[in-house]
Amino acid sequence: MASPQAELLRSTLWQLRTSAEGAKLPSVEEMRSLNALMESLGSEPSAVHFKDIDVKGIPAMWVEPEIALYDRVLLYLHGGGCVFGSIQSHRKLVGHLAKSIGCRALNLDYRLAPEHSFPAAVEDATKAYIWLLDQGIEPHHIALAGDSFGGGLCLACIWDLLSKGYPLPSAVVMMSPWVDLALTGDSIDAYDSVDPINARPFMQLCADIYLAGKDARSPLASPLYARFEHLPPMYIQVGEYEILRDDAIRLADIAKAAGNEVRLDIFPEMFHLFQLAVGNMPEADNAIERISRWLKGRLDIVI
């Protein structure tokens, strides 16, 4: 049974969704106004410092717990359909993750559409990873993580790195990854009436803005259609009742069939990106703790 905190948040989010139904699709500015809501869901992580930096022209943020290994880095790619979301909207989530894992995190403000359409976000993610290598961070001491669009972007980045001959990170963590911008998963429609955050028209709008007429099944746009051989270990989390559930399940099945190490956790009764409520909701706290335990072994962290 979902916690009282989860039920309250679900109800609040559902009210916001239903109040917008029947209206025209939101503008880019209206979508970006959701950033403050996303940031507000979690609690402020204690003993974590945030420092804005420039990564080869890309705004970013070092997220530095007071107790951490500085030669291990979590490269984090936020969600938001590549139209909204920011390092600020996901600051608290990344702070809790970094603190729980015991390493620094690089929270990346990759370019968004419509100002910068596909494949700008992939280019920025790849550039940031290579920048970390240039800083002397070993590839086996780097992990990628992201949520929703950012989860799919992690895989797109990995395939871009493969095509360019760079060494791959030690692991990748994806929360409710959006890996099929063609929106072919059965859960897109099956859970549309129960997911308090996502709806097909909204996701189609984000896909159209990001792709700007390019092929939705391009592997760098929709990693579900890429090759899956020789990838880093993957950990995927998804809610039981969200429209991206099938993206996560299909991704896990295809990756396992190709011989990759994959863990998939489906959280009962949870909705899209419940992890943003970390510090204020037990299900979110549990999800972050599971990520921490899984990643510590991949990054060889003992604190």
pLDDT tens track for 263-281: 999 999 999 999 999 999 9
User: Is pLDDT at 249 greater than 90 in this prediction?
Assistant: yes
Query: By the 8 A CB rule, do 273 and 42 touch?
Result: no
* pLDDT recorded at residue 302: 83
pLDDT of residue 21: 67
pTM: 0.97
Q: What gap in Å lies between CA 41 and CA 252, rounded to an integer?
A: 28
For residue 268, the tally of other CB atoms under 10 A from its CB is 10
> Which range among 195-199, 283-287, 298-302 has the greatest average pLDDT?
283-287
d(C-alpha 222, C-alpha 182), whole Å: 8
Catalytic residues: 148, 242, 272
Please tell me the predicted confidence (pLDDT) of residue 209.
98
In CATH, what number is assigned to the domain containing residue 43?
Answer: 3.40.50.1820
Residue 39 lies in domain: 4-17+25-299
Domain count, the chain: 1
Report the mean per-residue pLDDT for the chain: 96
Q: What is the mean pLDDT of residues 59-75?
A: 97
